[in-house]
Chains A and B, each alone.
Chain A
């Protein structure tokens, strides 16, 4: 294995991990506040679809990105209203949204673009941090990525700071661990959870948009293919901490990258098994290979005074 191959592998891993990173950190924030968003998959797909359509219709990927973000708001609101105000079963809600979005985006795609599938859609441009791109061997392959990745990393860094050092971060932590404490301090558990779910929607739509207009430059039906569930698994794997979640996403990204990398190395493993690998890893992760998980105590439970 040469350095060039390694560099390409790392670069691919990073690229494939990006949607998971975005959605995973978004979901982390919601789960910390006590909301289990099974609908991450649906939110990602919404972002992917809306961004693709927006970019295709206007020819401007940036506008597409914006439309992707706007489109996810109603989806996130449905999740938020059902989980918080109506105190619905969060798992059932999430699955329902996923089914609805899958159907709606497939329908929408057929109606709007239809037979002209595989249409090339204007995509987001690449970017490389100044200087890093010129490192020999690694520079180009590893650091030349869609700019959305770097924007996402910046958002993730800010999120980590907010969770750790601000009053809102403390409120989020409390809302997931002991919502009564939040209520008795005069804050609104509902408001905190609404904000977090909307944030998850925002990040998930970015992750989805990355898939369609960042990476592949096209939309295919159901293109998220379970990425949303991998994101949820990464939060569990990462024990509800940002650092752990990021590592888990990178790991899943690397596992996905193997699918493209091993054949070039002449290693002959059936493609299906390689595609399966991230899900298998995720299963092992949630199955306790990463140690007993300690979820926020109020995770998945609607709050009632």
Chain B
């Protein structure tokens, strides 16, 4: 019954069981979150007020929320793309990290400052993309050569990347800014102005950068690729039955490599945006938590690119609101993680109920 509805009417499709389940999971988790706030003896109205303030309370916080969403969206889109081939990329955080490292390195020391045509920021972005793609490709190579479970390999690569980041900002031979005294923080120099991403409005109190339109374009392009192209179908075929796809002439190696490289590249790009668009200084741990947020957005989306955008926005705002809640209402940001964990678990379990459709 619901089968027919979702297949033939737009409204039916919008109300598909999949979407309802996602919304229900988010709602339930949010309620539990509010309950926890209550248990922590924090005033719920105060917490909510702090939350709203942190998300849309000022143009600055709004832009910050959206910038965060961009990073989550890219990781989530990468996840969905690779997942079409039944590959689970869990290494978003590491891919963001290597992207950030590459972008900073090229921006500071790549000699790009004085190039024309936007190259001062495009080249570092390209470096970020390539670094992320490379990181994803390592997992792909292991999968192709040795059948290694990509969940484990991308995860281990993520840990390695995080420590690579730590080393990079700690070591003077690498990106650490020259130590003038013992109190110099382990971080890089600030990137030159020319390499910073141009803002959409040119106004620093609303620092929304060009990452937003780029991300939207990427989302549309990849969405079309998945839905309408031969490659999209090939991805699906390999994900469903690699042996049969292979026999039919679809190259398993090529498909796996492209999917994980793309997922990694998008993660790297997110890292590039974060460095060149917001933070401007490479710091230890800058990617912390972004990988998981993006991953959960990807899971929540249940295979739909549009879903990723929606979920990414949700989490972007959630994180911004959470940070403010911590500062103002003393609600630790760990609460956001609890809510996310609950969402994922509920979604995982919900699949069972989706299977029970009649007919």
Asked if B163 and A275 make an inter-chain contact with CB atoms under 8 angstroms apart, the answer reads yes
CB distance from A39 to the nearest CB of B (A): 10
* Chain A, 234-250, CB within 8 A of any chain B CB: 236
A-B contact count (CB 8 A): 148
Whether A100 contacts B345 in the complex (CB less than 8 A), given A107-B335, A226-B159, comes out as: yes
Asked if B334 and A99 make an inter-chain contact with CB atoms under 8 angstroms apart, the answer reads no
B336 at the interface (CB under 8 A from A): yes
Asked if A99 and B145 make an inter-chain contact with CB atoms under 8 angstroms apart, the answer reads no
Complex Cα gap A135–B342 (Å)? 52
Asked if B341 and A279 make an inter-chain contact with CB atoms under 8 angstroms apart, the answer reads no
Residue of B156, B157, B167, B295 near A95 (CB, 8 A) is: B295
Which residues of chain B have C-beta atoms less than 8 A from A81's C-beta?
Answer: 349
A103 at the interface (CB under 8 A from B): yes
Asked if B348 and A89 make an inter-chain contact with CB atoms under 8 angstroms apart, the answer reads yes
Which residues of chain A have C-beta atoms less than 8 A from B270's C-beta?
Answer: none
A158 at the interface (CB under 8 A from B): no
Name the residue on B nearest A270 (C-beta).
B167
Which residues of chain A have C-beta atoms less than 8 A from B337's C-beta?
Answer: 99-100, 102-103, 106
Q: Which of A62-70, A185-193, A285-293 is near enough to bind chain B?
A: A285-293
Bits for A95-133, please: 1 = Cβ < 8 Å to B, else 0. 111111111101100110000000000000000000000
Asked if A88 and B341 make an inter-chain contact with CB atoms under 8 angstroms apart, the answer reads no
Q: Could you tell me the dominant secondary structure of chain A's interface residues? A: helix
Residue of A93, A99, A273, A292 near B296 (CB, 8 A) is: A99
Mark B residues whose CB is within 8 Å of A. Answer: 36, 40, 88, 90, 142, 145-149, 151-153, 155-157, 159-160, 163-164, 166-167, 170-171, 292, 295-296, 299, 332, 334-345, 347-349, 351-352, 355
- Sort A-B residue pairs by CB-CB distance and give the 8 closest, nearest first: A100-B341, A103-B337, A288-B146, A96-B344, A272-B167, A106-B334, A103-B338, A99-B341
Known A104-B341, A283-B153; 10 more pairs at CB < 8 Å: A82-B348, A88-B352, A98-B341, A270-B167, A270-B170, A272-B170, A286-B142, A286-B149, A288-B147, A293-B146
Mark A residues whose CB is within 8 Å of B. Answer: 38, 78, 81-82, 85-89, 91-93, 95-104, 106-107, 110-111, 221, 226, 229, 232-233, 236, 270-273, 275-276, 279-280, 282-283, 286-288, 292-293
